[in-house]
Amino acid sequence: MAVTVYVLRCADGTLYTGWTTNIERRLREHNAGRGAKYTRSRTPVQLAYTETHPDRASAQRREIEIKRLSRRQKLALINQ
């Protein structure tokens, strides 16, 4: 099953990184306030970046890599 790593741009301009098996559903959850605690008070969120991975383990590793990037590096990734 393919797993998507994603970066959201929150209403306050911050960036949020996560992973999911269904990006459309997850985006709806974030915007409905049922997503991550971080995004609940920062809606609406917009999808800024996605990557597809073959399994959950590799997606989680990539999520951690992206979270460790500086804001500038994340913006560069999004704008590739």
Based on the structure, what is the number of domains in the chain?
1
Output the domain CATH number for residue 9. 3.40.1440.10
The values of phi and psi at residue 60, to 5°, are -65, -40
Q: In this predicted model, what pLDDT tens digit does every residue of 14-47 receive, in sequence order?
A: 999 999 999 999 999 999 999 899 999 999 999 9
Structure tokens of 38?
A: 């971080």
Q: In this predicted model, what pLDDT tens digit does every residue of 55-76 receive, in sequence order?
A: 999 999 999 999 999 999 999 9
Q: Domain containing 59: what range?
A: 3-78
* 8 Å CB contact between 15 and 43: no
- The secondary structure of 42-66 as a DSSP string is S-S-EEEEEEEESSHHHHHHHHHHH
Q: What is the pLDDT of residue 6?
A: 98
Q: What is the pLDDT of residue 25?
A: 97
